[in-house]
Amino acid sequence: MGDDRKLTTQEEDFSAWYNEIVYKAELAAHSQVRGCMVIRPYGFRIWELMQGALDSMFKETGHQNAYFPMFLPQSALDREAQHVEGFAPETAVVTRAGGAELEEPLVVRPTSEAVIWPIAADWIDSYRDLPVLLNQWTNVVRWEMRTRPFLRTTEFLWQEGHTAHVDEEDARAETLRMLGIYRTFMEDWMAMPVYTGRKTAAERFAGAVDTFACEALMKDNKALQAGTSHYLGENFARAFDVRFQTVEGEHAYVHNTSWGVSTRLIGGLIMTHGDDTGLILPPRLAPIQAIIVPIWKNDEQQAAVLAVAREVEADLLEAGIRVRVDDRQGMNPGAKYYDWERKGVPVRLEIGPRDVEAGSVMTVRRFTPEGQDRKRAVGRTELVAELPAQLERMQQELYVEALQRRAANTTTGIEDYEQFKDVVEQKGGFVFTGWCGDPVCEARVKEETKTTIRVIVGDDLASHVPPASCLCGDESVMEVVRARAY
């Protein structure tokens, strides 16, 4: 008769904790099909808020949304050699439809390069038509062997940007611009710090010349690839014949990019901020930023308290806050507290007879840094005036907290392999090391330690004293961040 109202703690079993949050906070539900997932309204609202923020950033940088079909002919996927090799094993293929075998199998898109470029090629004749800056919000299907809600599902929702440029310089600038937008979004909206950088050839997107990624550190000290941006060179342009006439009147292939973030971000959000009580949502992405819990002892009080609660709700809505009154009957206030804490609502507003009398509201923070008051009574007008700013402060505090956690779990200056293994085993987290650049060495370290090179560090992250040697003992030619990852 264990108390099934309590979550498994992160300490006991992080994986179990994660799963319980996903289902008990009503983010997702099991589906009838292996590896697929139902995103419930509460979880989907988080995704909508993410979409809203990202979409406006895309539009501000000149991108337009479009929609391409979810099916592509097998032959189209087959056109870019590395791309097929990378994706073919995990595609779902429709061979039968309308009661008959299809002439040619249809692949359910695992990503849309091979859907978009054969068509968009016709929209590009001249350098004047470039750049083409497209984005689409869609579902894709990848038949992964092992799935986990939000982190890796057979079908997932994402956005995929696809662009075409006149030359490498322009395309590379786009690749990094979008990486930067992802980073800004993750830091400013998700309060999730990320390391950004280039991937090694082994970790590159199938068909890309260069892949860049945002890497976040989860509370179990494993890394999560939260978003990627690829410079595709002329690979897809050549495969799908996407050419244009240059200023000089010559024919040239476009240079493409693609970039995406998915519903995996919700998994990242959970594992960046959640605690043993449940989810903790950064205010900017919280479907409900403030929940009003009315408290009463009898019908008379109930009427009075609810009336005030409605007024406070209206005032806060006016102030632009996503607020709701929890007027459920037959449920004690305490039970409501636990419920909303598990769902990660940033602020709870308790209104009882005493508050009605005093014209105040009891505010309780979901996340409270050391040295701050969790509960505080404030006057109603004061509340409406300061809650928006308070939510913004919480947003910042969550980010700082996550940043400090990452700093505490990042190790630099490791050159000795045995020492590296110790750090990985005993502490985990991000480890900065040197790398000789040899893929064989990379593969060996991966095999032996289950860590991968998450990114090659750029100047922005480089250590003051860059490592002189690689873990293999050879001379280091670049600094890398290694970690065990999801």
Q: Which residues sit at the interface with RNA, rule CB under 7 A? A: 1, 3-6, 15, 19, 30, 33-35, 86, 89-90, 142, 144-148, 151-154, 156, 158, 205, 213, 225-228, 260, 262-264, 277, 295-298, 302, 329-335, 337-339, 341-342, 350-355, 362, 364, 450, 485-486
CB of 339 to RNA, least distance (A): 5
Closest CA to 261 of 194, 322, 209: 194
List own/partner pairs for 470-473 with CB under 8 A and 24 or more apart: 470/415, 470/433, 470/434, 470/435, 470/436, 470/438, 470/441, 471/414, 471/415, 471/416, 471/417, 471/420, 471/433, 471/434, 471/435, 471/441, 471/445, 472/417, 472/436, 472/438, 472/441, 472/444, 472/445, 473/417
Task: Give whichever of 163 and 363 is closer to RNA, judged by the CB atom.
Answer: 363
CB of 206 to RNA, least distance (A): 7
Q: What is the CA radius of gyration of the chain?
A: 25
Task: Give whichever of 231 and 244 is closer to RNA, judged by the CB atom.
Answer: 231
Task: Give whichever of 448 and 475 is closer to RNA, judged by the CB atom.
Answer: 448
Task: Give whichever of 361 and 478 is closer to RNA, judged by the CB atom.
Answer: 361
The strand pairing partners of 71, in sequence order, are 108
Instruction: Kindly tell me the sign of the dihedral angle through the C-alpha atoms of 32, 263, 283, 16.
Output: positive
CB of 362 to RNA, least distance (A): 4
CB 292 within 8 A of CB 324: yes
CB-based contacts of 22: which residues, under 8 Å, 6+ apart? 28, 43, 149, 150, 270
473 conformational bin, left if phi > 0, alpha if psi -120 to 50, beta if neither: left
Task: Give whichever of 57 and 361 is closer to RNA, judged by the CB atom.
Answer: 361
CB of 239 to RNA, least distance (A): 19
Burial label for 85, CB within 10 Å (0-12, 13-18, 19+), is exposed
Task: Give whichever of 277 and 410 is closer to RNA, judged by the CB atom.
Answer: 277
CB of 38 to RNA, least distance (A): 12
Task: Give whichever of 68 and 337 is closer to RNA, judged by the CB atom.
Answer: 337
Task: Give whichever of 350 and 479 is closer to RNA, judged by the CB atom.
Answer: 350
Closest CA to 395 of 270, 281, 276: 281
**Which CA distances in Å does 367 have to 181, 266, 397, 448, 482?**
27, 18, 9, 39, 30
CB of 422 to RNA, least distance (A): 19
* One-letter identity of residue 384: V
CB of 284 to RNA, least distance (A): 21
Task: Give whichever of 134 and 166 is closer to RNA, judged by the CB atom.
Answer: 134
CB of 207 to RNA, least distance (A): 11
Instruction: Kindly tell me the sign of the dihedral angle through the C-alpha atoms of 468, 474, 475, 479.
Output: negative
CB of 437 to RNA, least distance (A): 20
Chain centroid offset of residue 424 CA: 24
Task: Report how far residue 334's alpha carbon sits from residue 337's, in angstroms, rounded to the nearest whole number.
Answer: 5
